[in-house]
């Protein structure tokens, strides 16, 4: 067992094996990893390295075949589907590459979703969702449908949704993959701000070295194992990068 | 997560595809409205027939001439004259528990008053007709025993005949012609209405002796039928056996030979017609029920499509913490809302259809609470039954796969 010194995530010799017919794939091979509360970690690796599997296990979307995974000292490796859903609801905030907002449902209601499943009452749900939207800089977009929002705005709504239930970790899977350079930096700026101001634990899965450099620690995964785990030497500060970028006049559809 | 929230999500999901939801509910609407309309019309018919039978009085027996066997061949009822006035008189004279008897002779003929004329359906009977048939006169009075004895040329008109021959006039005391014979109108019967298009008021009544002696070319002593009124409803079946014994004796029928008359007990008629109508209603309702089933399959079909279409949405909901049971509940609620909407709309349409039908054909409307309750619970049950499989399929989705679904 690993030390418990403030570790939000403790992965202890986790193995994940997929069996598809006759083919057996070892996605993770006795991988161990520990992430402290308040850390900003980037997980990198080529496709097929097992980083997606690792992300699914960290996000409680999947269970290890062998080994244990503790999220806030709670062993999730033996949980059933309902308990895993509850854990995702209370402890994990997801941000996806393709935003994954529920279509034809307003930004506010999208942000309210985790609270709805947590059983939070209507009035409080509203208040907290509005707060979360303000946190990501979209206080006046509550009523907009996802289709009426730009990519950057959609990703910010997704971020607000990830934040709203005060999770233990925010798990972002290629959060800038579908965004242009400036918007990407803007999103990373929010991540960095949340990490610093609210001491949120943030895990970003990416294959872009530029994006990984906004984190304070980079974990490389290869062949189902951790190939390197190092602090970032020259960390990028998104707010400064933004200043250096030319200001783009917002497109018309940005303002409806 | 409270029920209201689940309901709101379901309602919104359905509202996104208004046309599709409407078409899906159409199956249920047609099914439920058909069930309600059929059951209501069926029960209306039952009520109507029951009412008419009751208006005859359930202690009433009809005695009719039956098959006469001559040399092994059945002679038809129409040609039989095996029931005579003496038989009728004997029934009243010899049997206890008989309140009265009334012979019935049917005839036809043209009725004329002034420049009006009408084809009459003539019933010849005695003065007990009003009591036995439970049919009073509205104006004037019925003919008396003396009229029967003297075969007087008096006539009592049914309401329809009175209206046709004496428009805007009081026929009582007027003289009219039947088959070129002068008759005096002594009364008009109360309006009874029609049974299945058969107007009961299109009739005239006169003493049977008058029919026998004045209207029939040759004197025939046999009668068409006799109405016998038992003193009580219970006494009716006893009277039936007694009449049968008496007539067999009078007609000298050997023990192994069949009756040459028929006896119809009004409560038997009531029971038989209730049974026939009940079966008919059940049959119609089951055909309607099949269309309800088809509607349910439509719901299942569209819910399966919906689950596939919204795989990604299901993945998102699961990722943010929806338990599989919540997903199941959500889709189940959608299908229940669909079928309930169909059920309620169907109830309104079916109810109005039954009401319109009843109004048009002048039937009693009986949109029974039972039919409404059945249709309501049935459509909910259909929502649950046909919604469960798609909902279960949605709940069983793997969140990782669902999130990746394009």
CB–CB of B318/B327 below 8 Å?
yes
User: How far is the C-alpha of B64 from the C-alpha of A63, rounded, in Å?
Assistant: 88
Domains contained in chain A, CATH given: 7-246 (3.40.50.300)
pLDDT tens digits along B51-63: 777 777 668 888 8
* Higher-scoring residue by pLDDT: B39, A165: A165
Option in B317, B323, B403 nearest A82 (CB): B323
Size (chain B), residues: 406
For the ranges A113-117, B244-248, B372-376, the lowest mean pLDDT is seen at: B372-376
In this prediction the ipTM stands at 0.91
Give the whole-angstrom CA distance, residue A117 versus residue A5: 31
Nearest CA in chain B to A111: B320
**Cβ separation of A81 and B12 shorter than 8 Å?**
no
Segment holding A11, helix H or strand E: strand A7-20
By the 8 A CB rule, do B192 and B201 touch? yes
Question: Do residues B116 and B166 touch, judged by C-beta distance below 8 A?
Answer: yes
Q: Which of B5, B315, B318 sits opposite A85 (nearest CB)?
A: B318
Query: Does residue B264 surpass a pLDDT of 80?
Result: yes
pLDDT tens digit string along B134-191?
A: 888 898 999 999 999 998 999 999 999 999 999 988 999 999 999 888 999 999 999 8
Q: Average pLDDT, whole number, for chain B?
A: 85
From chain B residues 10-29, the ones with a CB under 8 A of any chain A CB are 12, 16
Measured between beta carbons, the chain B residues lying within 8 angstroms of A96 are: 403
Rounded CA separation B169/B198 (Å): 25
DSSP sequence for A49-75: SSHHHHHHHHTTSS--SEEEEEETTEE
Question: Alpha carbon of B273 to those of A14, B43, B48, B50, B366: distances in Å?
Answer: 78, 12, 11, 8, 18
Beta bridge partners of B230: B98
Q: Is B399 on the interface with A (CB under 8 A)?
A: yes
**What distance in Å separates the CA atoms of residue B255 and residue B258, rounded to the nearest whole number?**
8
The structure tokens listed for A58 are: 């960290």
**The predicted structure's pLDDT at residue B73:** 60
Return the HEC string of B136-181.
Answer: CEEEECCCCHHHHHCCCCEEEECHHHHHHHCCCCCCCCCEEEECCE
Q: What number is the average pLDDT over the span A30-41? A: 95
CB A190 within 8 A of CB A136: yes
CB A176 within 8 A of CB A16: no
Gap between the Cα atoms of B35 and B17, Å rounded: 27
The reply to whether A64 touches chain B by the CB within 8 Å rule is: no
State the pLDDT at residue B363. Answer: 73
- Distance from chain centroid for Cα A36: 15
**How sure is the predictor about B299, in pLDDT bands with cuts at 50, 70 and 90?**
very high
Tell me if B320 and A94 make a contact (CB, 8 A cut-off): yes
Instruction: Tell me which of A41-45, B8-12, B150-154 is least confident.
Output: B8-12
Q: How many helices (H) and strands (E) would you count in chain B?
A: 13, 14
State the best of A47, A50, A54, A61 to mutate against chain B, taking most chain B CBs within 10 Å: A61
Residue A89 Cα, gap to closest chain B Cα (Å)? 4
Question: For the residues B92-103, what does the mean pLDDT come to?
Answer: 85
């Amino acid at each position: 067992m690993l030390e418990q010194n403030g570790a939000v995530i403790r992965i202890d010799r986790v193995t994940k094996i997929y069996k598809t017919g006759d083919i057996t794939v070892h996605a993770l091979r006795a991988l161990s990893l520990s992430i402290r509360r308040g850390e900003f970690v980037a997980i990198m690796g080529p496709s097929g390295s097992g980083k997606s599997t690792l992300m699914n296990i960290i996000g409680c979307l999947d269970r290890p075949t062998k080994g244990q995974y503790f999220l806030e000292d709670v062993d999730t490796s033996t949980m059933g589907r309902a308990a895993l859903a509850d854990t995702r609801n209370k402890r994990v905030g997801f941000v996806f590459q393709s935003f994954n907002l529920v279509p034809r449902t307003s930004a506010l209601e999208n942000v309210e979703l985790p609270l709805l499943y947590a059983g939070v009452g209507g009035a409080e749900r509203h208040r907290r969702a509005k707060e979360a939207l303000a946190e990501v800089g979209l206080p006046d977009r509550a009523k907009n449908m996802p289709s009426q929002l730009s990519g950057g705005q959609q990703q910010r709504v997704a971020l607000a949704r990830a934040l709203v239930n005060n999770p233990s970790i925010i798990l972002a899977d290629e959060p800038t993959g579908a965004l242009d350079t400036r918007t990407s930096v803007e999103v990373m700026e929010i991540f960095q701000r949340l990490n610093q101001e609210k001491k949120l634990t943030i895990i970003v899965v990416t294959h872009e070295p530029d994006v990984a450099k906004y984190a304070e620690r980079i974990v490389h995964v290869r062949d189902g194992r951790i190939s390197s785990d190092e602090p970032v030497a020259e960390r990028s500060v998104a707010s400064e990068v933004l200043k250096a970028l030319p200001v783009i006049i917002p497109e018309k559809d940005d303002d409806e | 997560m409270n029920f209201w929230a689940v309901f709101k999500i379901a309602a919104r999901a359905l509202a996104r595809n208004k046309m599709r939801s409407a078409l899906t509910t159409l199956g249920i609407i047609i099914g439920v409205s058909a069930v309600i309309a059929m059951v209501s019309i069926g029960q209306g018919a039952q009520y109507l027939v029951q009412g008419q039978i009751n208006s005859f009085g359930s202690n009433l027996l009809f005695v009719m001439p039956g098959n006469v066997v001559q040399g092994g061949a059945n002679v038809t009822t129409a040609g039989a004259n095996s029931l005579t006035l003496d038989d009728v008189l004997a029934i009243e004279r010899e049997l206890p528990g008989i309140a009265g008897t009334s012979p019935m002779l049917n005839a036809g003929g043209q009725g004329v008053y002034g420049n009006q004329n009408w084809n009459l359906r003539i019933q010849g009977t005695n003065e007990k007709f009003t009591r036995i048939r439970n049919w009073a006169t509205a104006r004037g009075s019925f003919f008396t025993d003396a009229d029967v004895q003297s075969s007087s040329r008096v006539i009592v008109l049914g309401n329809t005949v009175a209206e046709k021959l004496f428009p805007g006039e009081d026929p009582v005391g007027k003289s009219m012609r039947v088959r070129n014979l002068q008759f005096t109108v002594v009364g008009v019967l109360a309006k009874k209405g029609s049974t299945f298009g058969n107007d009961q008021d299109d009739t005239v009544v006169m003493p049977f002796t008058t029919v026998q002696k004045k209207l029939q070319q040759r004197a025939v002593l046999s009668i068409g039928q006799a109405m016998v009124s038992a003193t009580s409803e219970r006494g009716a079946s006893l009277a039936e056996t007694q009449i049968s014994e008496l007539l067999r004796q009078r007609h000298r029928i050997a023990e192994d030979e069949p009756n040459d008359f028929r006896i119809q007990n009004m409560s038997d008629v009531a029971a038989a017609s209730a049974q026939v109508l009940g079966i008919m209603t059940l049959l119609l309702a089951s055909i309607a029920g099949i269309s309800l089933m088809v509607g349910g399959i439509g719901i299942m079909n569209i819910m399966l499509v919906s689950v596939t279409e919204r795989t990604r949405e299901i993945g998102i909901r699961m990722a943010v913490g929806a338990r599989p049971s919540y997903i199941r509940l959500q889709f189940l609620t959608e299908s229940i809302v669909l079928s309930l909407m169909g059920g309620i709309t169907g109830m309104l349409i079916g109810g109005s259809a039954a009401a319109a039908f009843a109004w048009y054909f002048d039937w009693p409307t009986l949109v029974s609470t039972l039919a409404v309750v059945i249709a309501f619970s049935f459509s909910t049950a259909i929502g649950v039954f046909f919604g469960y499989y798609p909902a279960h399929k949605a709940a069983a989705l793997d969140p990782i796969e669902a999130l990746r679904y394009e």
